[in-house]
Each structure stands twice: as structure tokens, then as C-alpha cells.
């Protein structure tokens, strides 16, 4: 590679990096402006609002081996409430005529 070719390559690489950096900052500033002036109320409630007890973990494995995934879903994936029967409000039963069946 000649000196002029290597100089050209350096210019191209640095130009690319300059453009990327400038575009990145422009995108970020645009996002900040739109978030402040255009997008309102983008938050919802946390779990504490609806549960006083918090999550009770049955199982918590860190740095889990691949076989753990299969065990996890086999052991804890079944529906424990399957046989629970509940009374359903009439208005919900009335609306079930045009609803899709449960998945």
C-alpha cells in the first residue's frame, strides 16, 4: 500500500468515525428534546402499588447451567390454578359471545 493510499484509508476511517459520533449525538439530543416537549406521562405503576408482600421466590439460581432452563420450566411451568373454579360476573359472561376462545 502506498503512502497516499494509506493516507486515504486513514482519512476515510476517521471521517466515518467523525460522522458516526456526530450522528449519535444529534440523535441523542433530538430524543431528549422530543421526550421533554412532546412525550407526556410515559410511566406506569410499579409492583409495590399492587402488592404489599412482594415476590416470594421458590427458586433462584445464579450462573445457571443450560440444563437448569429445562428443569425450571418442567418443575414450575405447569398451571397450579388449573382446577380452581370461580364465579364470573354476568357482564363478562354476556360479552363472551363475541370473544375468542382461551389460548
Partner 1 sequence: MAVLCKNCAGKLIFNPASQKLECNTCGSSYRPQDVEDIYASSDTKFYDTRVYTCSHCGAEVITSDTESSTFCVYCGNPAIVFSRVSREYRPDGIIPFKITKQQAIENIRTKFLKNPIIPREIKNKLTAENLRGIYVPYWLINADFTEADWIKGKVKKGKSSETRYYSRAGEISFKNVPIDGSRILNDDTSRKLEPFYLEDSTEFDEDYLNGFYSNTTDLSYYDLRRSAADRCHSLYAEAVVKSFDWGVKDVKVVDSVYHIDIHDDPLYMMMPVWFFTFKHDGKPYTVLVNGQTGKVVGTLPWLNKRIWAVAITVFLVILAFIGFFFGGIAFGFRKHINTFYMHGIAGLLATSMLCFTTGTVGLKRIFKNLRLTQSEAIFRFVKKRQE
Judged by CB under 8 A, does residue 2 bind partner 1?
Answer: no
Residue 6 lies near partner 1 (rule: CB under 8 A) = no
Say if CB 59 and CB 72 are below 8 A apart: yes
Within 10 Å of residue 72's Cβ, how many Cβ atoms? Answer: 14
Q: How is residue 90 written as a grid cell?
A: 354476568
Q: How far apart are CA 34 and CA 42, in angstroms?
A: 12
27 binds partner 1 (CB under 8 A): yes
Under the criterion CB under 8 A, does residue 5 sit at the interface with partner 1? no
47 near partner 1 (CB under 8 A): yes
Residues 81-100 interacting with partner 1 (rule: CB under 8 A): 81, 84, 86-100
Rounded Cα distance, 37 and 32, in Å: 9
| Sole binder of partner 1 in the list 2, 4, 5, 53 (CB under 8 A) | 53
Contact 93, 76 (CB under 8 A): no
77 contributes a contact to partner 1 by CB under 8 A: yes
Say whether residue 68 binds partner 1 (CB under 8 A). yes
Amino acid at each position: 500500500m502506498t503512502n497516499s493510499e494509506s493516507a486515504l484509508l486513514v482519512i476515510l476511517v476517521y471521517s466515518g468515525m467523525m460522522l458516526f459520533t456526530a450522528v449519535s449525538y444529534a440523535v441523542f439530543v433530538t430524543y431528549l428534546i422530543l421526550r421533554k416537549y412532546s412525550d407526556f406521562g410515559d410511566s406506569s405503576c410499579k409492583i409495590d402499588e399492587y402488592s404489599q408482600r412482594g415476590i416470594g421466590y421458590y427458586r433462584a439460581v445464579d450462573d445457571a447451567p443450560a440444563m437448569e432452563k429445562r428443569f425450571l420450566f418442567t418443575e414450575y411451568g405447569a398451571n397450579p390454578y388449573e382446577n380452581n373454579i370461580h364465579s364470573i360476573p354476568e357482564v363478562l359472561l354476556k360479552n363472551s359471545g363475541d370473544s375468542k376462545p382461551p389460548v
